Amino acid sequence: MKFLPIFLLLLPIGLSAQQVDEAFRKQLQNQLILAEPGDTIDIPAGTFLLGSSLSLDEKKDVVIRGAGMDQSILSFRKQQDGAEGLRITNSSNITVMDLTVQDAAGDCIKAMNTDGISFVRVRTEWTGKPDKNNGSYGLYPVSCQRVLIDGCEAIGASDAGIYVGQSHLVVVKNSKAYHNVAGIEIENTTMADVFDCEAYDNTGGILVFDLPDLPKAKGGNVRVFRNHVHNNNYRNFAPKGNIVGTVPPGTGVLILATDGVEVFDNRIHNNITVGAGVISYYMTETPIQDKDYDPYPNAIYLHDNDFARKATRPTLKNKIGLLLLTKFGKNVPDILYDGIPDPASLDANGEFLADQTICIRNNGSATFANLDAANDFQGLSQDLTPHDCTRSALNPTELGMGNP
């Protein structure tokens, strides 16, 4: 009995930690609504529990600034309303910096139809063990122009930690992604540079995808360089129906259907199934209805990467993994090409037209396989000669905006 009073004293503290801070949300949301060009909205240090989405719309030259990634934490663990943590729309020159957005019901931070969006030292995460009930995307700019993601961290997304979709002019650098299904994904996006990033402990490290049925149909001119892509062997916890659900655990870099991709100077280590893959949309075994869609990757250049892989079995949770195990045992090739070429990219002799080549060169001792998936894997070949060529370097992406 004598412990009871102490227990009663502690109870209110325990409860208040569970309650959303509605006064804080209202004040911050008011600031976001009333922000004028040139304003900086400061978020103090502390963990703030929010019950509904924050949003910024039709603003220009606004900075949302926390006291540091580990200091200012916006938690949406108790979210009742809205699908995102923070939503930024129809704006220009917006910077989000030095804060963490946690445990949103849907995406942590979504930016849409915005020209000039910078995320600097921002962390998005779902706390706890990676789970299919986590939200889809951590940092999610879509239909944006001039996107900068610098010094960010993305953790625990059930789709992609850093996901740039249907955008133009994108730089992702100095950032880290782990415990996501896809670490960093660039999708239907033109002019994008991903460099000096670390992607590890995801299902797939860095993905460059072009998908059908989207308003911005084609990506291209995507450069992936100087990244450290390692140990992306996490189980695939994406809810079914999502395209990343088809990514085999153990994938380092994967190019799917995008034309014009250059992958160089990366360290791609200990991804057990595919170090780097170049595949068509057919490998997803999803029917294509979009008549204008180009499912083939063309004009690809993989060079000067450092591949390393311990002798170990590929994933057994995926058809490709099982196929690789049957053919190669523990010594799975570092670089895979599905061997389903675009008929329009070949000349009369079945050779790639000069501007459509898939070139793989100077990747140290990396091993290669063409799966010949077009012929039910019958002609599987490890001969790299057809891909022993060079391509001219792609243009770097200039955002034309200063670092904040």
Interface residue list for another protein (CB under 8 A): 22, 25-27, 29-34, 51-53, 55-58, 79-83, 87, 89-90, 104-107, 112-113, 132-137, 140, 142-143, 158-159, 163, 165-166, 211, 213-216, 239-243, 286-287, 289-290
State which residue, 214 or 323, has the beta carbon closest to another protein: 214
Strand, coil or helix: 338: coil
Closest approach of another protein to the CB of residue 84, in Å: 9
Q: What six digits make up the tokens of 103? A: 């445990």
Q: What six digits make up the tokens of 333? A: 């090739």
State which residue, 55 or 381, has the beta carbon closest to another protein: 55
One-letter amino acid at 131 equals D
Closest approach of another protein to the CB of residue 238, in Å: 8
Assign 3-class secondary structure to 362-389.
CCCCCCEEECCHHHCCCCCECCCHHHCC
State which residue, 163 or 234, has the beta carbon closest to another protein: 163
Strand, coil or helix: 236: coil
Q: Do residues 80 and 106 make contact, with C-beta atoms less than 8 angstroms apart? A: no
Distance CA(238)–CA(230), nearest Å, equals 20
State which residue, 32 or 253, has the beta carbon closest to another protein: 32
State which residue, 218 or 313, has the beta carbon closest to another protein: 218
Closest approach of another protein to the CB of residue 44, in Å: 16
Strand, coil or helix: 25: helix
Tell me the C-alpha to C-alpha distance, in Å, between residue 111 and each of 91, 142, 278: 9, 6, 29
State which residue, 68 or 245, has the beta carbon closest to another protein: 245
Backbone angles phi, psi at 6, to 5 degrees: -65, -45
Tell me the C-alpha to C-alpha distance, in Å, between residue 248 and each of 207, 236, 272: 12, 7, 10
Distance CA(226)–CA(191), nearest Å, equals 17
Closest approach of another protein to the CB of residue 108, in Å: 11
What residues contact residue 125 under an 8 Å CB cut-off, 6+ apart?
100, 101, 102, 103, 108, 138, 153, 154, 155, 156
One-letter amino acid at 306 equals D
Closest approach of another protein to the CB of residue 240, in Å: 4
Q: What six digits make up the tokens of 35? A: 């922000």
Tell me the C-alpha to C-alpha distance, in Å, between residue 316 and each of 18, 237, 241: 41, 15, 20
Closest approach of another protein to the CB of residue 279, in Å: 17
Closest approach of another protein to the CB of residue 3, in Å: 35
Among 30, 47, 48, CA closest to 39: 30
State which residue, 106 or 404, has the beta carbon closest to another protein: 106
Closest approach of another protein to the CB of residue 354, in Å: 33
Rg (alpha carbons) of the chain, rounded to whole number: 23
State which residue, 97 or 164, has the beta carbon closest to another protein: 164
State which residue, 76 or 200, has the beta carbon closest to another protein: 76
Distance CA(353)–CA(28), nearest Å, equals 56
What residues contact residue 128 under an 8 Å CB cut-off, 6+ apart?
156
State which residue, 287 or 343, has the beta carbon closest to another protein: 287
